[in-house]
Copies of this chain bind each other. A is one copy, B any other.
């Protein structure tokens, strides 16, 4: 197995040159704007043979004119120009390069030849390369980014993203803040001429703000290496993986996308299971699992308590939980007695616990969370929005009706607590505020139950490896 590459200069460059800075809208125009906005103007050098100025900054006609210190070059040029430019960058003494250009191995024989040529030049100069056919990196700690994304996606968080595909990674980023997931770092790998997912995993393993890693993978660059990396990383941080190319047709699609050979899916299934990586079945589940794993502690057992206002959704989630290996055990006699004393006659005090419109949600949630025989809790506070609006008009806010769920969690922070709601968007926005940042609010009860089961599996796996 090769030695992992230190990615620090990619995420914390002392100086950065944009080779292919441009007056035409596109990456060469937009990335400089983003970096200037993020406070990197004093460490930013624009390069283009035409010279002149761009965004009120001088444009250097050659990479050789760029002053020190500069340890990262971002290449945004048509693919055929890339090999020569790499040679210049190497001669200039810059060792780290992000190649954003597409048109290499992913487009067939001509591109493959070009990529081989570039690889040879990179090796001759000892270059470390991310890409080609990628968007580079985001570091939300220091504001360094080569990805033009929304300002809200730059709020520092605790989940890191490794994506093979640039466009996918960027669109994914757009949706995360609205779903309550904030990012520490992101890296898009593209065709992986040099840096691969193993390097990224190793770097993020020791990255302090990163608590969980989510990864979109089309195929491993090096299967043995991925196994060793995952074995090491999953002991310290959860790694949640969405893998495409499960079928021959899907595999053929990845080959023409990032030149990846996706391989036999059964091998990956085994690889993930053996190394304790968590596999997501869909994009939505990838996000939901990341929200749960980046915020919740490991459960001490598999006993789930469910508190809800909807018996139907209680039954549906019980199904998913039990199918996924969790138990939904009876509540203790003392808890049942205590809750029954306050409950209306129509309320069944059991697990799953449907409090209906009794107004007992907060009390029930707190009691179930503190039950010694309960290891984790799923809170499902549902209310028709017309009713919620009526309550609000009567001065009765939803945090009184459902309790401040974040504060309730503080009563037993050692147990995982997930909330789940669906319905009207405005209702969900209110519920997200009530849940705060410590309790993830998911929109799919099935994903919520599945995520708690995944937490339990991960905790069991950790114990067997301890």
Contact = CB atoms under 8 A, between A and B. Distances in A.
Q: Which has the most chain B C-beta neighbours within 10 Å: A150, A216, A245, A424?
A: A424
Contact of A352 (B106, B253, B345, B386): B253
A321 to B, nearest CB: 8
A373 interface: no
A164 B256 contact: no
A250 B322 contact: yes
Contact of A258 (B164, B311, B313): B311
Contact of A174 (B165, B350, B423, B443): B423
A373 to B, nearest CB: 15
B424 A150 contact: yes
B102 A346 contact: yes
Contacts of A394: 25
Contacts of A174: 384-386, 423-424, 427
A425 B345 CA distance: 42
B384 A250 contact: no
Interface residues of A, number: 86
Interface stretch (A84-92, A136-144, A279-287): A279-287
State the oligomeric state as a number of copies. Answer: 2
A297 to B, nearest CB: 24
Interface in A232-275: 242, 244-251, 253-254, 256-258, 262
A390 B30 CA distance: 10
Contacts of A107: 345-348
8 contacts: A167-B357, A168-B310, A174-B423, A175-B422, A218-B312, A253-B311, A254-B311, A262-B315
Given A103-B345, A106-B348, A247 B323 contact: yes
Contacts of A32: none
A382 interface: yes
Contacts of A172: 422-423
Given A150-B386, A328-B249, A175 B310 contact: no
Given A167-B310, A310-B171, A315 B244 contact: yes
A327 B247 CA distance: 11
B386 A148 contact: yes
A422 B283 contact: yes
Q: Which has the most chain B C-beta neighbours within 10 Å: A25, A165, A167?
A: A167
